[in-house]
Amino acid sequence: MNFARQQEQAERTARRLIWLHAFASTAVVIGVDAIATLVWHLLFGAAVDPPHGFHLVNVGGVLALIVGGAVLETARLREDGALIARRLGAVPVDTIGDPLHRRLQNLLEELAIAARIGVPRAFVLEDEPMINALTAGMDRNRSVVVVTRGALVRLTRDELQGVLAHEVSHIVNGDVRLNTRLVGMNHGLQWVGLFGRSMLSRAVKGAASMRVLEMAMAVPLAVMGVIVSVVGAIGELGALAIQAGVGRQREYFADAQAVAFTRQRDGLGGALRKVAGLPAVLAREATAAGSAPHDPRAAAARRHPYWQNVAHLLLVGRVASGRWFETHPPLRDRVHRLYGRDMAPIEPAVLKDAERREPELPALSLAVSAGAAFDDDEAPMPEPMAGRMPGLASARFAGSRDRTAPIALARLRAADGPAPAALWADTMPAFGEGAPAPGEVVAVTQVDGAARSCAASESAIAAAADRLVQATREPAGAAALVAALIGTPGQPAPRWGEGWECAAQRHGALRAAVAAVPGETLRALRWPLMELAVARLQPMSRPARESLLATVRGIVDQDARLTLPEWIYVALLRLRLRLEPRPTGLRRAAPGDLLDARGIRVLFALVAHCAHVSEAKADRAANAAIRTLDLAPIGGSAGPLTIESLEQAMRGATHLPPLARPLLVRQLVSLLPADAGHEARDFLRLLCVAIDCPPPRLPPHGFGWGATGTARGVSSDDQDDEVLASADV
Amino acid sequence: MRLFAPRESEMSAGLLSLLLLVAVPLVWVALAYNRLVGLRNALRNGFAQIDVQLKRRHDLVPGLVDVARAYLTHERQTLESVVAARQGAASARASAAARWSDAQAIEKLDAAESVLSGAVGRLFAVVEAHPELKADATLERLTEELVSTENRIGFARQAYNDSVTDYNNGVERFPENLVASAFAFKPATLLHSTRSVAEREPVAVTL
């Protein structure tokens, strides 16, 4: 391969591109001016000349927009190639937490060696189910590669290597520089249309404002807005056509070079065939999950308009929108050139690696062999069953990882029809001793069975908990887990917002895994799991975080009541996802926001209430705290505990001077008895997060994986989540 | 007398052409020399890159053996052969790193590395037979790193061979070879990664 010649050719294309752009820009400038003059003559008659400087303003304004937009964007891109990635909502790779990210990073490092360039920075579009990738950057040694989640989970290592080799060849050939410059220039042309639209919306607002001056301005503003946006739209189309013309030939070359780098064609070839086969698979998966089928066109329409600017950077272009605007040669042709003949698309399943971290259920099964009607693959366990039968739960969740419990359930041959659940649990342990004859149900003594099922359930709980922890490894799982932890078992599936399709698909299975963990254990795990999940969600784009919070709020609102744990976790989510400004303590607070004696009493009353401590004791502790913090001891009682008073008190606590915060927290902790429940603990932890104070050591809790905890948890599952507020919240 | 004395302009022209005759070849020699130095340094860099990746592989192998040892108590022999192969490869690497242009040292390194590849391949075959070991998260991570390292070594060799070809072209082409022989630029050897049978087989990692 002659890289130098290719780079030269890229430069030539770049020069042609600049001419084309100059042409398009001139056309837009002249177009705006011509139409404006035409409109002027239509309004005021052919004889009246436009005022002096009319043309100058038109031409100057539009030129300033085009050039200004292009220069500004190019300068920004030059400074930071990762800007494009971040604009699209991609997050930097996390090489420690997620093995798939690690693999991506490794692959890029390998290819950088092969191509003798600096390692590109890797980003992942976590909420994109399609298979795609793009690269950007002004400098060969500081480029950026963005890969979608779909590509990570559905392509094998070799295929992903092929895809990345294609991107790396773009970098080596100098296409990326060219394409990134094109992004900047197109941004300028786009600005004209955007400006026109903003003029229109201002005109509409002005007309609605009922103020004389603005209403008078509305008409010319609207006329100008229409002209500019129409011509701007034409300019945008021109930009798209240029974008398309530049890239198409280079794609074949990059494909060929990817093969030269990796010395195999099946990598990239397989990836392209999987891209072709993916829509059918996504549609099938969506039907199986009961959600609306994934429509690439609708998804493209909902995306950020910036996507349009980067279409030519992608591995596979936008869905066909007319030959003139296609940035990439058709997939079939590319596959044909790679293999020398037509190849059928491959339907990409999610990889085994990726699947292992899904909350999958063991391929057992009891259910199948017993003829019961639940479905094996996707398969949440039927909820009522999970609550009542820890033994059964273990059977379904003790997966292949579990080395201690002999799960030989697959060999169980029950008589026709579903056997009673109790019978299943009791017969289960017997299979450690020998295979039963087909059709036989082995009876064992009750005591032995119960003891064994307890042991089995313990490891099953551990396995289920492990699965929950695994889910926090990547954003979709983390989001689904958050929803599963906050929701209650019987609820209908929540409405997931924009960009959380993957999370929606995993939610059901994770909810089943949550249900498999008995109440007491779950209550102990909830806070750490939430923190793990939230840490994974923090780097997501702001709209994604907002839509997640909206989803969670929807879950909480479903039963029209707000329990204390729900409030605690939603508050944690709000704080950790950085969706509201955090008071820094340096800003002056409004006098009403400061923490007063009443706020202190509210906090103490709440802790006392959750920890089942007497009011008198809480009052004494509160008074001590008020004295320590040097507050004016006004008012008697805390009054009724409401969400408003609680939030007021929390807000007040954030304005405490930094050194007073640990004092308050220590006083609150001293109120906790040794057997305080998890609500009180979680509330204290939340308070520490909210006021930015290191959490204290909480008194140890008599909690273990033991059978007693299990039994207690099962019996009192969801009953002591006290209702804080009802429908009016 | 005056008749034979050269005129002013003639003398300066002669001097100029003489100067050019001397200077042009000198400049060319300097340029060619610099180009060769650049190529040779690219070559050394390429070799050091392979060395870095080999080191990476040698660092990974003990971790792999440790993880495997926890599960494979009765497969001592496989584990020991991996450890021995690793040691052999590490010492061959050390001696080759000192003499990068010595074809014999590189051959030796090649052979030692292929022994290591074979041993690791056998270890993975054993791993295949132990599902509980295959499911180990640490092993999974190590495997990914090892696969990646294998690729890196391959790509680094590829890049090294490319730079060897560039360098040899520079050294052996006609007018430059005069400069090369004058300044003792010797042709370098290409790496043949598929010379031994063991190396031609890919390391079987399908976890």
CA A165/CA A112 separation, integer angstroms: 9
Q: Nearest C-alpha of chain A: how many angstroms from B3?
A: 58
Nearest alpha-carbon partner for A574 in A543, A547, A549: A549
Amino acid in the structure at residue B170? G
- Read off the pLDDT band of A496 (50, 70, 90): confident
Determine how many CB atoms are found less than 10 A away from the CB of residue A279: 17
pTM of the model as a whole: 0.60
Of B131, B144, B155, the CB nearest to A113: B155
Q: Minimal Cα distance from B145: which residue of A?
A: A106
Q: Domain for residue B74, yes or no?
A: yes
Burial of A580 (0-12, 13-18, 19+ CB in 10 A): exposed
CB distance A111–B155 less than 8 Å? yes
Identify all chain A residues contacting B135, using CB atoms and an 8 Å cutoff.
Answer: 400-401
Determine whether B46 is exposed, middle or buried from the number of CB atoms within 10 Å of its CB (0-12, 13-18, 19+). Answer: buried
List residues of chain A with CB under 8 Å from any CB of chain B: 99, 102-103, 106-107, 109-111, 113-114, 116, 157, 161, 261, 400-401, 403
Is B49 in contact with A109 (Cβ distance < 8 A)? no
DSSP string, A670-714: HT--TT--HHHHHHHHHHHHHHT-PPPPPPP----SSHHHHHHHH
Name the band, by pLDDT with cuts 50, 70 and 90, for residue A385: very low
Torsion of CA A31, A36, A37, A40, to 10 degrees: 160
**Nearest-CA distance B148 → chain A (Å):** 6
Of residues B202 and A637, more confidence is placed in A637
Mean of the pLDDT values across residues A159-176?
Answer: 88
The predicted structure's pLDDT at residue A104: 92
A523-558 exposure pattern, b = at least 16 Cβ within 10 A, e = fewer = bbbbbebbebbbebbeebbeebbebbbebbbebbee
How far out from the chain centre does Cα A458 lie?
32
The residue with greater pLDDT, A450 or A439, is A450
Q: How far is CA A146 from CA A190, B76, B205, in A?
A: 23, 44, 27
Say yes or no for a CB contact (<8 Å) between A114 and B155. yes
Q: Residue B111: inside a domain, yes or no? A: yes
Q: Is the pLDDT of residue A337 over 60?
A: yes
Contacts with A267 from chain B: Cβ below 8 Å: none
| Gap from B19 CA to chain A (nearest CA, Å) | 35
How many domains is chain B built from? 1
Nearest C-alpha of chain A: how many angstroms from B71?
A: 13
Q: Are A580 and A647 in contact (CB under 8 A)?
A: no
Shortest CA distance from A114: residue in chain B: B155
Q: What is the pLDDT of residue A165?
A: 92
Nearest by CB to residue B159, choosing from A99, A107, A113, is A113
Residue A628 pLDDT: 83
- The rounded percent of chain A whose pLDDT value lies above 90 is 3
B66 located within any domain = yes
Write phi, then psi, for A139 (nearest 5 degrees): -130, 135
Question: A110, B147: Cβ pair inside 8 Å?
Answer: no
Q: Tens digit of pLDDT for each residue in A390-409?
A: 333 333 333 333 333 332 22
Burial of B177 (0-12, 13-18, 19+ CB in 10 A): middle
- What pLDDT is attached to residue A147? 92
**pLDDT confidence tier of residue A300, bands split at 50, 70 and 90:** low
Question: Is pLDDT at A164 greater than 90 in this prediction?
Answer: yes
For residue A325, what pLDDT is reported? 58
User: Mean of the pLDDT values across residues A457-483?
Assistant: 83
pLDDT in tens, A536-582: 888 777 778 888 888 888 888 887 777 888 888 888 888 888 776 65
In a domain, B140, yes or no: yes
Closest CB to A99 among B53, B144, B151: B144
- B148/A99 touch (CB, cutoff 8 Å), yes or no: no
Please say if the pLDDT value at position A320 is more than 80: no
Chain B environment of A266 (Cβ under 8 Å):
none
Q: With 80 as the cut, is the pLDDT of residue A313 above it?
A: no
Q: A99: which residues sit within 8 A by CB, 6+ positions away?
A: A353, A473, B140, B141, B144
Task: Please report whether residue B186 resides in a domain.
Answer: yes
Residue of A nearest to B146 (CA): A106
Residue B46: per-residue pLDDT: 86
Residues of chain B whose beta carbon is less than 8 angstroms from a beta carbon of chain A are: 49, 53, 131-132, 135, 140-141, 144-145, 147-148, 151-152, 155-156, 158-159
CB contact under 8 A, B147 and A157: yes
Q: Which one, of A326, A35, A414, lies nearest residue A196 by Cα?
A: A35
Report the pLDDT value the prediction gives residue A324, as an integer from 0 to 100: 54
Q: What is the mean pLDDT of chain A?
A: 72
Helix A475-486 and helix A519-537: axis angle, to 10°? Answer: 140
Band (A583; pLDDT cuts 50, 70, 90): low
> Does A101 have pLDDT greater than 80?
yes
Q: DSSP label at A91?
A: E
Over 50: is that where the pLDDT of A373 sits?
no
Q: What is the mean pLDDT of residues A115-124?
A: 88
Report the pLDDT value the prediction gives residue A303, as an integer from 0 to 100. 61
CB contact under 8 A, B147 and A401: no
- Partner residue facing B140 (CB), from A99, A109, A116: A99
Considering only alpha carbons, which residue of chain B is nearest residue A260? B158
Indicate which of B51, B130, B142, B158 best probes the interface with A, i.e. most A CBs within 10 Å of its own CB: B158
Shortest distance between the Cα of B66 and any Cα of chain A, in A, equals 20
Q: State the count of interchain CB pairs (< 8 A) between A and B.
A: 36
Mean pLDDT of A575-599: 69
Instruction: For residue B114, count CB atoms less than 10 angstroms from its CB and return exposed for 0-12, middle for 13-18, buried for 19 or more.
Output: buried
- Rounded average pLDDT over A68-82: 81
Q: Residue for token digits 């087989």?
A: B201
Helix or strand (DSSP H, E) at A557: helix A542-557
Residue A702 has pLDDT above 90, yes or no: no
Question: What chain A residue is nearest to B138 in terms of C-alpha separation?
Answer: A99
Residue with tokens 């069953």: A385
The distance of B130 to chain A (nearest Cα, Å) reads 13
Nearest CB among B135, B152, B159 relative to A401 is that of B135
In terms of residue numbers, what domain contains B173? 40-200
Cβ contact, residue pair A103, B156, below 8 Å:
no
The lowest-confidence range among A239-248, A328-337, B87-96, B103-112 is: A239-248
**Token digits of residue A169:** 């060849």
B128 in a structural domain: yes
Residue A107 to chain B, least CA–CA distance (Å): 7
Of A103, A109, A114, the CB nearest to B144: A103
Q: What is d(CA A394, CA A458) in angstroms, rounded to the nearest whole number?
A: 8
Cβ distance B144 to A111 less than 8 Å, yes or no, reads no
Are residues A113 and B141, on separate chains, in Cβ contact within 8 Å? no
- Which chain B residues have a beta carbon less than 8 Å from that of A107? 148, 151
The predicted pLDDT at position A161 comes to: 92
Residue by residue, pLDDT tens for chain B (207 residues) are: 555 655 666 768 888 888 888 899 899 889 989 999 999 998 888 888 888 888 888 888 888 888 877 777 777 778 888 888 888 888 888 877 766 666 777 778 878 888 888 888 888 888 777 777 777 777 778 888 888 888 888 888 888 888 888 888 888 888 888 888 888 888 887 776 555 444 455 555 544
Query: Does B130 reside within a domain?
Result: yes
What's the average model confidence in pLDDT over A266-284? Answer: 85
Q: Is residue B10 part of a domain?
A: no
Position A302 pLDDT exceeds 80: no
Mean of pLDDT values over A278-286: 81
Chain A closest CA to B149's CA: distance in Å?
8
Residue type, A624: A
DSSP per-residue letters across A381-410: PPHHHHHH-HHHHHHHHSTTT--SS---GG
- Helix axis angle, A99-115 relative to A212-262, nearest 10°? 70
Which residues of chain B have a CB within 8 Å of the CB of A96? none
Please tell me which residue of chain B has the smallest CA distance to A402: B132
What is the distance in angstroms between the Cα of B136 and the nearest Cα belonging to chain A?
9
Nearest to A114 among B144, B148, B158 (CB): B158
Interface test with A, best of B39, B140, B144, B207 (most A CBs within 10 A): B144
CATH of the domain at B130: 1.20.1440.20
Of residues A13 and B13, more confidently modeled: B13
